[in-house]
Every structure is written in C-alpha cells, then in structure tokens.
Structure 1
Amino acid sequence: MEEELDEEEEEEQEVWSWGAGTEGQLGTEREKDELLPRLVSCLSSVSVSALSCGGAHVIALASGGEVFSWGRGSSGQLGQGDLVARCLKPAPISSLESIPIASVSAGWNHSGFVSRAGCPFTCGDGSFGQLGHGDYRSYPFPVQVPFFASHLVSQIACGMRHSIVVCKGESEFSVYGFGSCKRGQIGSSSSHAKSFGLPQHIPGLDGVEIVGLYANGDHSAALSADGRLYSWGRGFPGAPDACIPQLLPSSQLIKEACLGWNHALSLTDDGEVLMLGGKLHSLHNDPALKSLASQQSGVTWEKVPGPDRAKVIQIAAGAEHSALVNEDGSVMTWGWGEHGQLGLGDTSDQILPQTVNLSDGLPFTAMNTTVYCGSGFTFVVRKHQRKRPSTIN
C-alpha cells in the first residue's frame, strides 16, 4: 500500500528566567541571582498557560488547570501544606489536584487561585487579612474564601498585603477588596481602619464590565471592556491616595495594564506603551524625553519609546522594573537592575527599554511569547508550533 506523508503540528515550549534567585524563585534549582536568561528545564514537561510572579515565589498554571509553585514558602504562600524556607523547583499543589484552576495570582507573601467553577482560594500570610477569611491567620494550603460561596468569582489579584476580586453576576460585575487599607488599596472609604479581614464591596465599579484586575504594592486597578483604566490606593506622582476607584484620564483606549510598586504601565489599542511614575526608571530622568509626556488632570502618562515602527503586544511590571514583547516576539526590559532582572548581563539600571538576548532558543513569534515580572526577577514563556511529518497508510 502506498504511503502518504502528512504534517502534524506539535507544540514546543521554553521557559526562561533571570534576576533575583536566592529564594529559589527562578526555578533553576540554584540559589543565586542570574544576570542572563537561563532555561527552566523543570517546566519542560508542563504546558504553561500562565505564570504569576510575587515577592519571591511563582505560581504556574498549566493548560489542564493544574497548579505548580516554587520559591520562598516561609509564610505558606506556596500552598504545599507546610512552611518551607524555599522550594527550588516547581512542585504541584496537591490539595488543588481535583479542582481545575482558571486563574492564579502571587502577592508578596500570599497567593490566590480561582477555580473554573468560580470559587476563590487563598493561602500564605494572612496577618493583614489579605486571605479574606476574617481570622488574620496564615494558611499553608489553599482554603476556599467562604464569603464568596454564593458568588461567581472570575479573577483574583494579590498585592503586597491586600487582595481584590471581581465577581460576575447575571447582568453586572462587582469588585471586592480585603487586607491592608492604609493607602486605600482595598477601596474602603473608612479613615480609621487599618485592615479588613473580610471582603469589602468597592464602590464605583458596579455595572462596569471588568476584563482586567491588577494589584501590586499598595495599588489596585481595574480595566473595563471599553478600554478605561480605574485605579485606587497609593497615589501615583501628581495624584493623592484614593480610597475609591478613580478613572485615569487617557486620550487612547487601553487594552492591557500592569502595576509596580511606584509605577503603572498601559498598552493602547495601537500598540503604544504609556507609563505613570517609576521612581527608579522614570523617563523624566532623561530631559530629552520630556516632550513625550502629556499632563492630564495631575496625572502624567509618559510614552515609552521603543524601536522604530515596532508595535508592542504585551507588557509586564515588577516592583521597580518593566518588560514588553514586541510584535516580532522580541523582549525588552528597563528600570531597576540590581539583581540582574533586566537580563542584560549586568546589574545596571536602564531608563530606556533594552533588548534581551534569547536568540539561542526556539524560533519565536509574537503571539507565542509572554513575559512576567516579579519583585526583582523576570520570566519568559515561549511556545512554537513545529510541523513534523507523519505517515498515513
């Protein structure tokens, strides 16, 4: 019988990490900082659909809903059932093995998970109420948040000492916050409370269709389906702290956003990156770039310059550094570089985006390259569809 050759596609994946690594957060089984990108071979058999990078730990969500964690675990943030100083390579969270997870978030010392059924779970440091259980205890394994038993949660975002969630009802969305509220980051207008251990309704966003939820440091933000970005908590330069969501003025529609400790990034519909603040990597440090800033209502969005005619398709923000992916799949970083988190081979800070060399790996395309930032470290996940011949009889 004559044989025919056909082609099948199979997915190849690479995970790279660099930067602060003394807590095992790079997943390389080494307790050291890495100044250049290093392959994370421990994840070669895991089809990673998303990562979340926290203070010094990482959570990986696999395409089948399985969850893995590694890095610092001293507060139970790894969710592996015990308090470990550090875990040097990805390990499954066994208590969630029978619960398919849809989204994950790593905070400073706590973690959040949302199941495909819309149930939120939290673990780790709860001393500020950031786990939402009302008891200010820490948990070394994920525990379902009872308050949301009758709600359908679509996303959770964990910051320094607070968490926010978005619930989706039949016809509207609502947002809740819990944990530290000293800077207004959980949307509480109470002037005397320092924290809330139970979820508090955040006013001002009811009825707004939320497609993105963000938390880092003492900041919180939400992105609406119509391209508007709301922010509350610690004020960015030129703006006071806000206890309820404030619309950040922008002349362009926003399709993605992310938060650092002192800065925020937004990605516009036409592929431009704008930045607020940035103590260690503000474009204000370069007088030649001040003309790119536009002042609106006390809040300054700065256009982040990049390669000529390059369109950005994804952004990420760490504590004090930032990263982006261009349309051609190249990765660029800038900001604080003390731990090598820029991946450029040194510990220098950079005001302008610099290209990270990942050329020794798979051929990359824009739609299959994603960058993630933690506090002083960076991850990149690249996927490539490779055609291989198959024989059909």
Structure 2
Amino acid sequence: MSMDSTTSGTPTIQYHNINDQPVTAIVAVSVSTYQRNQRLCFGDLIPGEFPLAANPSIVLHATCSFFRQPANFPPDNELSISELAALDMCQKRAIFKPMGPEERQNLKQRCGGSWKLVLRFLLAGEACCRRERSQAIAGPGHSIAVTSNGVVYSFGSNSSGQLGQGTTEEEWRPRQIRSLQGIRIIQAAAGPGRTMLISDAGQVYAFGKDSFGEAEYGAQGTKMVTTPQLVESLKNIFVVQAAIGNFFTAVLSREGRVYTFSWGNDGRLGHQTEPSDVEPHPLLGALENIPVVQIAAGYCYLLALACQPSGMSVYSVGCGLGGKLGHGSRTDEKYPRLIEQFQLLNLQPMVVAAGAWHAAVVGRDGRVCTWGWGRYGCLGHGNEECESVPKVVEALSKVKAVNVATGDYTTFVVSDDGDVYSFGCGESASLGHYAAADDDVQGNRHANVLSPELVTSLKEVKERVVQISLTNSIYWNAHTFALTESGKLYAFGAGDKGQLGMELVNNQSERVHPERVDVDLRKQKDNCEDLRLGSDGQSPFMYMITFKKMFSAWLQLGVEFLAYSCDFLAEPPPK
C-alpha cells in the first residue's frame, strides 16, 4: 500500500533516512538517549501538537517496516509478527495440531510459502464443510446427524446396513451408533446404501454396501457391512472429507489432495481405475500441486474448490452432459479443468455444491451462480434451460448468500441472516414452501419453482438457519434438513422409510411443514464457531487472539517503539 500526500492537499514530507533494520536494532535504543523537545507542527497549528493524520506517510512507512522485520519470537525467530500470528492461529486448528514439523513445512510450501496462506486454507475448509461443527446429512433414504462433539445418530432405510447399527432394520427415530464410542466424528457422507464417517484423527469408517462405485445398481457391493469398519486402504491418508457419487467415491486429505475410487471403465477419473478398485488413486492433472479445500460429487462428475495464493477457484472433471462441468461445452473431462467463467464474472468462489445434474457456487460477495441441466427450474433463472457456464442468479441479487445445497434438480440457498430460498423440483414437497394448511392441496405442494422463493415455513421456526442438506439421488424421493444456529434440526419431504426421524401417521409418506427432529445437536462453544472469514479469507480476530497470548512481550516492544516514534516525529522536517 502506498499513499501520496500531494493528492490529499498536504505538503510532501521527506523521509528521515528510515532504513529497514531488525526489530532489535530499533527497540534496543535507550529511550533516555533522546532529548525531549517541544513538538513542532506544520502550518498554523498550535506548537506542541503534531497532526499524525495529516501526514501519515512517515508513520505508515515506519510501521510497515517494523512489521516486515523478523520478530525474534520462537518457534521461528525469522518470522514477522503477522506470520507468527498466522502460525499461532494455525496451531489452534484441529487438523493442523497433529502434524509434525516436516508435514507443516510441506503444507506451507504447498499453500504458497506463507503461514497466512496456510491459515486461509484451513479456515476456508472449515467454513465450507462445517468441520468440527454439528451437521445433518439427508442421504438417499437414510439420514446421518453428527453433534458438535462427534456423536453420530442414524435413521431411515437400512436394507444394506447403512445405518451402522448392526442390523438391517429400519429406524424411524434417531439412534446413536454405539460402536463409535470414544471416536470423535467430524464429517459424514451418505450415498445410496452406503455411509462414510471421518474421525478427528483422519480415519475413515464405512458401512452399508462394500463397494466404492456403482452403488445404485448393486452390480458391486453384494456384501453388507452393518457396523462401522475402518477403511484399511485409507489408513495412511489423513482424510478430512468424503464425497459419494453414483459411480465413484472421492476423499480429500488434510494437505488438500484428492483421491478417488472406482470411476469405472467408461470415464476414468484422471487414472486407470476399474469399478472394483478399493485402493485410493490420487487425482492427477492440474490439481496435483494445488491445495483443495472442498470436494462435491454429483451423479457422474466431481467439483473441487481450490485455494491458491491468487484466490479461490473451481475445477471440474467427469461427465459433461448438460454442461454441468461449466466449460461452455458438453464434453467429458478426464482430468480436472479450471472453470474460467468465475474470473470473467469477477467472483471468488467460497462454497461449491454438486447436484445430480447441476451445480452451484456461492461467491465471497454473496452472489450465487448455477449451471448444468435446468430441468424443473433448478438453476433459478426463471426457465428450464441448460447453462454450460456458471451464470449469476439475478433473482437473488438483493440476497447475500453464505451457503448453497443441491440435489436432484433442486437447489437451496442460505442467506447471511439465516433466511432460506429454494427452487426446482417440488416432488415429495421437499422445497418447503407450503405450510400445513395447504397439506390437502396436492398440486400446490408438489409444484415446481422456476425462480428462488423464500421458504416461509422455515421463517416460522424463528431461528437462524446455518445448514441445509437435501437428498442428492435420482432414485429416491427427496427429503430436506434445516439446522439452526442453536442446534435444532427440522425435517420435511419424503419420510416413507423413516429418513425424517419421525413417525408418520394415517398412511402419510411425507411431511410438508418442517418438523422438529428429536435429536440434540446443540452448538458447543469453541474457536471454530467464533471465527468468521473476512474479506481477504482470513479471520478478522486473528491478530487480537494472538496478541493476547504474546501480550507481555508485545507490550514491551510496543512501548519502546512508540517512544522511539514519538521522538523521531518530534524533530523538525529537513530544510
């Protein structure tokens, strides 16, 4: 940053031979060696006053020079104050704590060589994936709920043992998975007949069908696993997220590397994978050396949100039918390819969502983009046309979005004030637009919505919604979860298998109005919940929290530097 004093109407001030020098060279000077003179002023001001605001260039130069210098603080005396602050905040993140020195340095280099970039990478992942926080997953016919302290509940269809309860019986009420006691779960993914859970130690547990691909058809996975089992092939990879598509499964490591299983013969995903593969393969191509913070799986394609020094970006790979890869064509991509449209829109992606046939992104400025198949109005553009590149949803121009969720031709958007908007296919009453009074109006509650509409039924909850999850499968009737800030979970849509977590009466197969699910996901107070990403992708409280820890040392430095600065600024300008 530079400032030109001439443009502000103030006289040009020459620097007093300010040379960049170590902090110790500045603070080591004894304050008593400076003669306290009467402060001079410029212009017609009263002697004794010094208008810092009128001539900030000197202060700015000295301050920037000070913060750029090595701070001589452990653990690395060569780091500047800002880098130390970033490192201190990194050390508070759950996935960073267990990393060894070499692993941390490798992550630093992978992120761009700065601890500030590492912190941005970590916080971005937490923000878009709800790591370390309560969450609900509306899977195909079954549901998973995870509390903020890592306890897991499951309910719904259980024909393949996907509830992890040791049986194949349906559960109509949330039931804790007791076999996971002592293991803290931070992430969950639900696919057709299959569930994957990720622990805070980076271990992956899976149950249900035993295949990683083609889960809908049952071609593989005839063996059923009814209790959580550690995925042996992932034991040496610290996993932080999983995404289950129809033909494949993908996982994301804490270093931001993507691995996939079982893409199949007709659309190999960046490597020579067979449908029966149970070994993870690194995703090759453009993302090999770029850290990824979030992955999202559609029916036959994958999206990856990447974090680079230049900003956030989205890559896509897989089946291109309908234009859902976002490259302006409908061709397949065997290797990840950058979606360039976001640069043209001047939009920094912060959250990605992959529906079965369409995709969505929320930008840092709160804009929402959608693309892919537009059937039933799921893109929110007022029609059913396909879009082969991301297009801003103009109907949400007055809404600042913070999250988005996609399903089978259905889209939900959460605003910064907790309001929820939905559009697309109204089948199974999963859009939530119609209150209980309209239950008898079959046509209305199943109507498709071509443009975003406020979900007024969730306004009646009178709480801020922080997460929406909906079924992302073409073979199951959809249901939807809304999680509030206080940890209350509401459900609506299809419930014929118990996936809503409540009993249905009078031969009902769905709920139109959001109903409270009897499970406690209350919010726990911790660092993850308190931090908010600023406009530069970093926490605005980063320095405040760090300086509290280093208060004593910083106070001494600050006082000595202030005394030095004041004496320096008291001297008359050169003639």
Offset of 1:40 from its aligned partner?
A: 1.2
Offset of 1:180 from its aligned partner?
A: 1.7
Q: 1:124 to 1:32 in 2, by over 3 A?
A: farther
Structure 1 Cα separation of the partners of residues 407 and 490 of structure 2: 17
* Partner AA of 2:307 in structure 1: K
Question: Which residue is 1:354 aligned to?
Answer: 515
Partner of residue 122 from structure 1, selected from 250, 260, 268:
260
Matched-pair contact (CA < 8 Å) for 1:77–1:111: no
Q: How does 1:313-392 map to 2 (within 5 A)?
A: 313-319=466-472, 320-346=478-504, 348-358=509-519, 364-367=521-524
Question: Which residue is 2:87 aligned to?
Answer: none
1:89-121 alpha-carbon deviations (Å, 9 max, x no partner): 212222222221232212234211121222110
Q: How does 1:206-285 map to 2 (within 5 A)?
A: 206=343, 208-235=347-374, 236-237=376-377, 238-249=383-394, 250=396, 251-277=398-424, 278-281=426-429, 282-283=431-432
RCO (CA 8 Å, sep 6+): is it higher in 1 or 2? 1
Larger fraction in helix:
2
Question: Which residue is 1:69 aligned to?
Answer: 206
Structure 2 Cα separation of the partners of residues 298 and 221 of structure 1: 15
Structure 2 Cα separation of the partners of residues 48 and 38 of structure 1: 15
Matched-pair contact (CA < 8 Å) for 1:283–1:302: no
Structure 1 Cα separation of the partners of residues 479 and 266 of structure 2: 26
Query: Tell me, what secondary structure is at the counterpart of 2:498?
Result: coil
* Partner AA of 1:338 in structure 2: D
Q: How does 1:8-87 map to 2 (within 5 A)?
A: 13-76=150-213, 85-87=223-225
Is the radius of gyration larger for structure 1 or structure 2?
Answer: 2
Question: Any unmatched runs of 5+ in structure 2?
Answer: 1-147, 378-382, 442-448, 473-477, 526-575
Offset of 1:83 from its aligned partner?
A: 5.3
Partner of residue 188 from structure 1, selected from 304, 327, 335:
327
1:339-376 alpha-carbon deviations (Å, 9 max, x no partner): 22111113621122111123xxxx652358xxxxxxxx
Q: How does 1:98-137 map to 2 (within 5 A)?
A: 98-127=236-265, 129=267, 132-133=269-270, 135=272, 137=274
* Partner AA of 1:273 in structure 2: V
Partner of residue 158 from structure 1, selected from 265, 277, 297:
297
1:306-350 alpha-carbon deviations (Å, 9 max, x no partner): 335222222211131100122332211001222221111136211
* Partner AA of 2:224 in structure 1: R
Matched-pair contact (CA < 8 Å) for 2:187–2:240: no
Matched-pair contact (CA < 8 Å) for 2:489–2:521: no
Structure 2 Cα separation of the partners of residues 200 and 135 of structure 1: 18
Query: Tell me, what secondary structure is at the counterpart of 1:280?
Result: helix
Structure 1 Cα separation of the partners of residues 266 and 388 of structure 2: 17
1:66-86 alpha-carbon deviations (Å, 9 max, x no partner): 2222222335589xxx95533
Tell me the TM-score normalized by structure 1.
0.78
Offset of 1:288 from its aligned partner?
A: 6.1
1:186-210 alpha-carbon deviations (Å, 9 max, x no partner): 223234x3x3322233231236432
1:213-271 alpha-carbon deviations (Å, 9 max, x no partner): 21121121222222222211121523312111111231211111111112111111111
1:261-298 alpha-carbon deviations (Å, 9 max, x no partner): 121111111111211123221456669699xxxxxx96
Larger fraction in strand:
1
Structure 1 Cα separation of the partners of residues 415 and 228 of structure 2: 34
Question: Which residue is 2:82 aligned to?
Answer: none
Query: Tell me, what secondary structure is at the counterpart of 2:388?
Result: strand
* Partner AA of 2:302 in structure 1: S
Structure 1 Cα separation of the partners of residues 518 and 283 of structure 2: 42
Query: Tell me, what secondary structure is at the counterpart of 1:183?
Result: helix
* Partner AA of 2:494 in structure 1: W
Q: 1:109 to 1:55 in 2, by over 3 A?
A: farther
Question: Any unmatched runs of 5+ in structure 1?
Answer: 1-10, 291-296, 369-393
Q: 1:285 to 1:310 in 2, by over 3 A?
A: closer
Q: 1:341 to 1:44 in 2, by over 3 A?
A: same
Structure 2 Cα separation of the partners of residues 160 and 56 of structure 1: 15
Structure 2 Cα separation of the partners of residues 57 and 304 of structure 1: 33
Figure out how many residues of one structure are paired with residues of the other and give that number: 342
1:150-202 alpha-carbon deviations (Å, 9 max, x no partner): 322222111111111122222133322122221222223234x3x33222332
Structure 1 Cα separation of the partners of residues 185 and 259 of structure 2: 20
Tell me the TM-score normalized by structure 2.
0.55
Matched-pair contact (CA < 8 Å) for 2:247–2:262: yes
Question: Which residue is 1:179 aligned to?
Answer: 318
Q: 1:12 to 1:256 in 2, by over 3 A?
A: closer
Question: Which residue is 1:3 aligned to?
Answer: none
**Residue 299 of structure 1 pairs with residue 461 of structure 2:** no
Query: Tell me, what secondary structure is at the counterpart of 2:427?
Result: coil
* Partner AA of 1:141 in structure 2: E
Matched-pair contact (CA < 8 Å) for 2:303–2:354: yes
Query: Tell me, what secondary structure is at the counterpart of 1:29?
Result: coil
Matched-pair contact (CA < 8 Å) for 1:180–1:196: yes
Query: Tell me, what secondary structure is at the counterpart of 2:325?
Result: coil
Structure 2 Cα separation of the partners of residues 124 and 26 of structure 1: 23
Q: How does 1:134-149 map to 2 (within 5 A)?
A: 135=272, 137-138=274-275, 139-147=277-285, 148-149=287-288
Q: 1:214 to 1:127 in 2, by over 3 A?
A: farther
Q: What do you get for the CA RMSD once the two structures are aligned? A: 2.8
Offset of 1:42 from its aligned partner?
A: 2.2
